[in-house]
Amino acid sequence: MFNPSEEAKIINDSQKKPKNPEAIINIVAHRSNNQRQQIAQSYFTQFNKNIQDDFRSNFSGDFKDVLVALFYPPIDYDCYEIYNAMKGFGTNEDTLIEIIASRSNERINQIKLRYQQLFQKELVKEIDNEVSGFFKKVLLELLKGERNVNPNPNDKECYESAQLLYSSKGKKDTLQEAYANIFTKKSREELALIAKHYYEWYKKTLLEEVEKLFSSDSRRVLKAIIFSQLSPSEYFAYRINKALKKLSTNDNIIIRVLVSRDEIDIKRIKRYYMQNYKIPLYDAVKGEISGDYQKILLALIGQ
């Protein structure tokens, strides 16, 4: 039975020497975010300490990062990841793409509001100042949170959209305008039907066309949109696989995906991972990662 007061006490005791990270893992990896918020509140009430601050003081590396991430409310976690992607010198475009391209209208609007509250900065202005070109245009359109939610697409309109995408090839401004409007405004069901018509008539997938017609961050954000809209769980399986297959693992991606999708579609992500990469996600992570960091990730994934 869930007892936030008792679990807060166990977590506090487990950070004293000799530390007992497994006791912490056994609690936090098997609780919902709502339950973790209750634990954090009880922790503060009992010990007058912030649980995330204690994790930062008592642990290190990727294990610490997972613990801290798990205790953010989901909207706050997205906001902090976006903020950190733009903090300091340079920009982590990959993080901006993953979050902004894959979130719903409601989530986008929640992120904008909470970002302002947390950092006293307007997210749209921050993005406008941080990136440029067509990539910026797509991100700013996504941040409007105006994607259609119509689950019953009009066949004629979707056919005309497919035609527009094809006919705009070779005309840079027209091409960018067509892709930006359609990719950021059409519902998931509309995009699926547009992609179907496009392939039927032109024998190319939209992903293939994006790969050929665009480059750099523009290509990546458009691919992320179509991929995450048409098959979100498959998109996040792809993200984890890509992060694991680098010369050194991209732990930021692995942590963010497993934490942010924990209560949404982790089971579907596992199915797609097995289907597409012929190895269980559990085994793939176990083979690339070690220590307490490995243990907490495997607990989140589950057998």
Judge whether 272 and 237 are in contact, CB under 8 Å: yes
User: What average pLDDT does range 114-132 have in this prediction?
Assistant: 98
- Determine the pLDDT at residue 260: 97
- Determine the pLDDT at residue 150: 87
d(CA 176, CA 194): 17
- Determine the pLDDT at residue 215: 95
CB neighbourhood size of 150 (10 A) = 12
d(CA 223, CA 243): 17
Q: Give, as one character, the DSSP assignment of residue 17.
A: S
Judge whether 281 and 272 are in contact, CB under 8 Å: no
CA dihedral 121, 122, 125, 130 (to 10 degrees): 50
Q: Give, as one character, the DSSP assignment of residue 267.
A: H
Judge whether 293 and 111 are in contact, CB under 8 Å: no
Domains of the chain by start residue, with CATH: 4-70 (1.10.220.10), 74-143 (1.10.220.10), 155-230 (1.10.220.10), 232-301 (1.10.220.10)
d(CA 236, CA 266): 9
Question: If pLDDT is split at 50, 70 and 90, which confidence band does 303 have?
Answer: confident
Question: Within a 13 Å sphere around the CA of 176, how many CA atoms are in the beta-carbon half?
Answer: 13
Per-residue b or e along 1-26, where b marks 16 or more CB atoms closer than 10 Å to that residue's CB: eeebeebbbbbbebbeeeeebeebbb
d(CA 249, CA 102): 22
Per cent of the chain over pLDDT 70 is: 100
User: What average pLDDT does range 244-272 have in this prediction?
Assistant: 94
d(CA 184, CA 178): 10
**The two structure tokens encoding residue 29:** 């990896």
User: What are the tens digits of pLDDT across the range 32-77?
Assistant: 999 999 999 999 999 999 999 999 999 999 999 999 999 999 999 9
The structure's pTM equals: 0.95
**The two structure tokens encoding residue 200:** 């039927």
d(CA 222, CA 179): 8
d(CA 84, CA 159): 40
Q: Is the pLDDT of residue 216 over 80?
A: yes
Q: Is the pLDDT of residue 99 over 80?
A: yes
Judge whether 14 and 21 are in contact, CB under 8 Å: yes
- Determine the pLDDT at residue 245: 87
- Determine the pLDDT at residue 214: 97
User: What average pLDDT does range 254-275 have in this prediction?
Assistant: 97
Largest Cα span, the chain = 67
Q: Is the pLDDT of residue 90 over 90?
A: no
